[in-house]
Structure 1
Amino acid sequence: MAAPSLVPEDEPAVAVDVLVEADGWSALPEAEAIAIRAVEAALTACGEDVPLPCEVSVTLTDDARIRVLNRDWRDKDKPTNVLSFPQPDLPEGVDAPQPLGDIIVALETLEAEASDEGKTPGNHLAHLVVHGTLHLMGYDHIEDDEAEEMEALERQVLAGLGIDDPYALPQD
């Protein structure tokens, strides 16, 4: 006999909450849907490592807000494209979805990078959210071998979303 599911049938195994806190995101009206698809695709690629049910929060903000977060949490007083804040595991016996953490994306940095790299803002958003989700799952890119593993998984996830390799060098 199969164990009963902890997830009620009317609730998704992965809940993605997207908060748009900067007005400029209205220029990319599909941003919320892109973020949700990117989180779901990245978690699917992580397979059995994902604690189900779980929750991920994505905040679409601006450079001013992410600069404050980057300064306060990473001692880097400048904007960045994406930040991830993993959450600790719930205590044993707590019957609730596991919060995996928060992903924060800055609009102006995303737009500038997309323009510089010849990418659409939507595709770059997907990449940054996939990248942030993998950080929530414990992936990192500090060491070369870790970076190669993380980038390979990003390429795989993005290819599944129909997005070209974000690390490919531009063609001359």
Structure 2
Amino acid sequence: MEIQISFQTETPRIERRKIEKALEKILEDLGCHDRELSVLFTDDEHIAALNKQYLGRMGPTNVLAFPMEDPHDETTVSPMLGDVVISLDTAARESVESGESFDETVRRLLIHGILHLLGFDHERSEGEAREMEQEELRLKNLVQNL
């Protein structure tokens, strides 16, 4: 398992080792122990540019996921799972709004992004949204004490 974590913004609030431990536990649980993952922590300005460029959506978002393969096509398996991009600006706002700690919010967004890489999609149907929400809760409980 190879995990690459990059910061495009200054943040003294994230402990890289805690993030790595959470990601290792999540990927292992999901059966992705032999996959590679890239995570970029950035700001609202950069994630808004990516959101517009790749999804045609205006403004910042909390997390973007870029899978390296079609999760519904089992004939091609890349060692690289994909890229997850998280806006720490948006994460900080969501943390305040939700009452979660900043670390909890970041872990929730990491889980959300990884599930998107694996083909979960909360926008396709209510049933898929419920399924994704249940899996997010299960994984959140798995890493809550790290």
Matches within 5 A, 1:142-161: 142=123, 143-161=125-143
In the other structure, the counterpart of 1:19 is: 6
Greater C-alpha radius of gyration: 1
Aligned residue type for 1:157: L
Question: Given the alignment of the two structures, is residue 134 of structure 1 paired with residue 115 of structure 2, yes or no?
Answer: yes
TM-score by length of 2: 0.87
TM-score by length of 1: 0.74
Deviation at 1:34, TM superposition (A): 3.7
Quick one: distance in 2 between partners of 1:136 and 1:117?
A: 25
Distance verdict in 2 for CA 1:112–1:59, change over 3 Å: same
Deviation at 1:161, TM superposition (A): 1.5
Quick one: distance in 2 between partners of 1:67 and 1:86?
A: 18
Distance verdict in 2 for CA 1:20–1:67, change over 3 Å: same
Structure 1 runs of 4+ with >2 Å offset: 32-47
In the other structure, the counterpart of 1:70 is: 51
Aligned residue type for 1:81: N
Quick one: distance in 1 between partners of 2:94 and 2:3?
A: 25
Q: Which runs of 5+ in 1 are unaligned?
A: 1-13, 164-172
What is the percent sequence identity of the aligned residues? Answer: 32
Matched length: 140
In the other structure, the counterpart of 2:27 is: 43
TM-align CA RMSD: 2.1
Deviation at 1:41, TM superposition (A): 3.0
Quick one: distance in 2 between partners of 1:63 and 1:122?
A: 18
Question: Given the alignment of the two structures, is residue 102 of structure 1 paired with residue 79 of structure 2, yes or no?
Answer: no
| 8 Å contact kept, 2:3–2:37 | yes
In the other structure, the counterpart of 1:83 is: 64
Aligned residue type for 1:103: V
In the other structure, the counterpart of 2:97 is: 116
Deviation at 1:148, TM superposition (A): 0.9
